[in-house]
Amino acid sequence: MLQAISDAGLAIMGLAIGAGLALGLAGIGAGLGMGTASAAALGAITEKPETFGKSILYVVFIEAVAIYGFVIAFLLIGLISTVLA
């Protein structure tokens, strides 16, 4: 009933789980950070409008975390084809 799992199957499973975790956790972290930073940025901009540039820059840096997670997920998915070859 139980079949042996090949090494390639385990590698593919690990890569797929890793890609999902990289994208999911980066997205969750960026979303939480962006919510907090955006709320603080809006409060700062309301009090001092000249802080607009710095505030937006901080939010962009947080968004970069999600983009890095997206890139890592695609790199891991790309490795699946090398395991199958």
C-beta neighbour count of 76 within 10 angstroms: 19
Domains of the chain, residue spans: 10-84
Per residue in 1-23, pLDDT (tens digit) is 457 777 888 889 999 999 999 99
Give residue for tokens 């090398």.
Answer: 82
What is residue 2's predicted lDDT score, i.e. its pLDDT? 52
| Structural fold of domain 10-84 | F1FO ATP Synthase (1.20.20)
Per residue in 31-76, pLDDT (tens digit) is 999 999 999 999 999 999 999 999 989 889 999 999 999 999 999 9
Are 7 and 28 contacting, i.e. CB atoms less than 8 angstroms apart? Answer: no
What is residue 9's predicted lDDT score, i.e. its pLDDT? 84
